[in-house]
Amino acid sequence: MAGFLFDNMVFGPVFSRRLGVSLGINLLPIDNKYCNFNCIYCECGWTNNKKGKMILAKRDELKQQLEAKLKEVQGTVNEPDAITFAGNGEPTIHPQFAEIIDDTIELRDKYAPKAAVSILSNATMLSKPKVAEALKKVDKNIQKLDSGIESTYKAINQALSNKSLDSIVEGLLGFEGKLIIQTLFLRGEYEGKIVDNTTNEEVEAWLEIVKKVKPEYVMLYPIERGTPAENIEKISKQELQKIAEKVEAAGIRAEVY
Whether residue 1 lies inside any domain: the answer is no
Whether residue 197 lies inside any domain: the answer is yes
Whether residue 4 lies inside any domain: the answer is no
Whether residue 214 lies inside any domain: the answer is yes
pLDDT at 1 over 50: no
Whether residue 76 lies inside any domain: the answer is yes
User: How far does the chain reach from its first CA to its final CA, in angstroms?
Assistant: 22
Residue 181 in 3-state DSSP?
A: strand
What mean pLDDT do residues 115-143 have? 98
Q: What pTM, to 2 d.p., does this model score?
A: 0.93
- Find all residues with CB under 8 Å of 144, minimum gap 6, and list them: 120, 121, 122, 123, 157, 181, 182, 183, 184
What number of other Cβ atoms are within 10 A of residue 74's Cβ?
13
**Measured on CA atoms in the order 124, 216, 244, 228, is the torsion positive or negative?**
negative
Range of the domain at 213: 10-256
pLDDT at 52 over 80: no
Cβ pair 172, 185 in contact under 8 A: no
- 10-16 and 20-25 strand pairing: antiparallel
**Domain tally, the chain:** 1
pLDDT digits (tens, 9 = 90+) for 8-46: 899 999 888 778 999 999 999 888 899 999 999 999 889
Whether residue 5 lies inside any domain: the answer is no
Which residues make beta-bridge pairs with 118?
84, 140
pLDDT at 147 over 90: yes
pLDDT range class, residue 3, cuts 50, 70, 90 = low
Model pLDDT, residue 55: 83
pLDDT digits (tens, 9 = 90+) for 180-207: 999 999 999 999 999 999 999 999 999 9
Whether residue 2 lies inside any domain: the answer is no
Whether residue 188 lies inside any domain: the answer is yes
CATH number reported for the structural domain that contains residue 101 in this entry: 3.20.20.70
